[in-house]
Amino acid sequence: MEDKDLSHSESFEIITKMINQAKNNYYESGMGALLWGFTNVICFTLAYFDSAVEGFDLPFNPFLLMIITMALQLYFNRKESRLKHATTYLDEAHKYVWMAFGISVLIVSIAGGIGHLNYYALPVLLVLFAIPTFISGAINKFKPLVIGAIICWLLSIVVFLYKSNLSFLLVAAGAFAAWVVPGFMLRARFNKQRNKADGV
């Protein structure tokens, strides 16, 4: 960019161009969605077998797998931060929404487990799954996340009304719709963007 005298319209052009450059800097690899989506699907499916299938007794609590996922998430965050060269206000908003979600899920899961209130906690979890998913999808105009969130809300109604062992499977289905499916789509979009940037 040359150092020259600017006309008023050139100034406006620069301002508009730069604001658009920043807007097009949305970075979402889909890795978090896939990681947590698969973890939830596996955990809730194992919990279903553990509670509903005779002779299928897990020697450990399946939800402990989330500790491994947490470690993997930290690893990927660190790796991806090398590729990210700017933080937008939207990134910050996302971070806090998902942080609030994590704390809420932790409270519902632990309190529900301690109080043996699994059947009451499960529909609440589905409602919680939907909130940040819907916000992320709506803000980024990414329909699969919005659809996933709506599926979680609908499933939560079913789980609220019919308490059974199948509830675990319905929560797994909610996680699949909200994160696994959109996660693959985000990943494909991200790879396409990277290939385009690399000129492949």
Residues 173, 153: Cα–Cα separation, whole Å: 12
Q: How far is the CB of 93 from another protein (least distance, A)?
A: 10
Q: Quick one: 18 or 52, whose CB is closer to another protein?
A: 18
How far apart (Å, rounded) are the C-alpha atoms in residues 174 and 37?
9
Residue with smaller CB distance to another protein, 79 or 192: 79
Binding mask 17-56 for another protein (x = CB under 8 A): xxx-xxx-x-------------------------------
Span 78-97, contacts to another protein by CB under 8 A: 82, 85-89, 91-92
Q: Does 1 bind another protein (CB under 8 A)?
A: yes
- 7 DSSP assignment: -
Q: Which residue, among 143, 146, 120, 144, has the nearest Cα to 131 in the 3D structure?
A: 146
Q: What are the angstrom distances between the C-alpha of 121 and each of 19, 32, 109, 127, 131?
A: 44, 23, 7, 10, 16
The smaller minimum CB distance to another protein, of residues 6 and 71, is found at 6
Minimum separation from the CB atom of position 151 to another protein (A): 33
The angle formed by the CA atoms of residues 128, 129 and 135, to the nearest 5 degrees, is: 90
Return d(Cα 37, Cα 108) in angstroms, integer: 18
Q: 28: Cβ–Cβ under 8 A, 6 or more apart, which residues?
A: 140, 186, 190
Of 50 and 91, the one with the shorter C-beta distance to another protein is: 91
Minimum CB distance to another protein smaller for 18 or for 71: 18
Q: How far is the CB of 117 from another protein (least distance, A)?
A: 40
Footprint on this chain of another protein (rule: CB under 8 A): 1-4, 6, 8-12, 14-15, 17-19, 21-23, 25, 82, 85-89, 91-92
